[in-house]
Amino acid sequence: MKISLIQTNPQKDRDANLKITRDLMAEALKTDQPDLIVLPEYFEVYGTTTEEKLALAEPAGGAAYTMAQDFARENKVFVHAGTIMEKVEGENRIYNTSFVFDREGKEVAAYRKIHMFDIVAPDGTAYKESATVKPGEDIVTYEIDGMKVGCAICYDIRFFELFLQLEKAGCDIIVLPAAFTLQTGKDHWEVLARARAIETQTYFVACGQTGSVTVNGEKRACYGHSLVCDPWGHTIARASDPVGYVTARIDAKEIKRVRNLIPMTQHRRIACA
């Protein structure tokens, strides 16, 4: 099985962002023939104000949703559509949602980001995701070609409790779209991805935005370096800084080999709800 990660630098023009993303998806499909294509967090639009984000949010079926769904159906490929700004009726916040489509374009998963990025970065920049995004609550998985895939998004990567639940659910692969900041990414991105792969004994697929965007006159940069780690914790594929894509092979035999070498599920003694 092959997975292609699409790495983009979305700005405020949704139509332009979707065209760039779709073109990269088509190029990856032509070159590498993946079974699953993964997009980054907020691939449809980024760098908007709170008011713009609320105005742009759409219920399932909007422009970004439709682009990903149509591509999946037309090309007979699974698409894990990064995250889309999902409108929540009666709320002044949105959901930050990963929608997944199978080869027929059928929606097979919708995961809403659980952990909100409310921090002050090392340079003093304040992030308050909970002001505009409503947290989700559900653990979400889906099936592809006999393998189970677990869902997570960006800041979720720091919370091992989520990944223990995905491991307990029997996941073979975990997919995490992100818009990881440059400041935190350069120190934490790969080490966290490798740690999550090792502790869950899964393939960990982390697909990030790259480059910078300006928000209210303030420049913010994303780390990029989309990568795939195998169940032993090796980084087996990694993109560099530019917009583009990277593809990795997933081997079910490697998952079995690692779990037989270190049977963690049999050795666990401390219960975790």
Catalytic residue set = 41, 113, 154
> Read out DSSP for the chain?
-EEEEEE----S-HHHHHHHHHHHHHHHHHHH--SEEE--TT-S--S--HHHHHHH-B-TTSHHHHHHHHHHHHHT-EEEEEEEEEE-TT-SSEEEEEEEE-TTS-EEEEEE--S--EEE-TTS-EEEGGGTB-------EEEETTEEEEE--GGGGG-HHHHHHHHHTT-SEEEEEE--BHHHHHHHHHHHHHHHHHHHTSEEEEEE-EEEEEETTEEEEEE---EEE-TTS-EEEE--SSSEEEEEE--HHHHHHHHHHS-HHHH--S---
Tokens found for residue 57: 């949010």
Backbone phi and psi for residue 225, each to the nearest 5 degrees, phi listed first: 55, 45
Residue 97 and residue 109: Cα distance in Å, rounded? 10
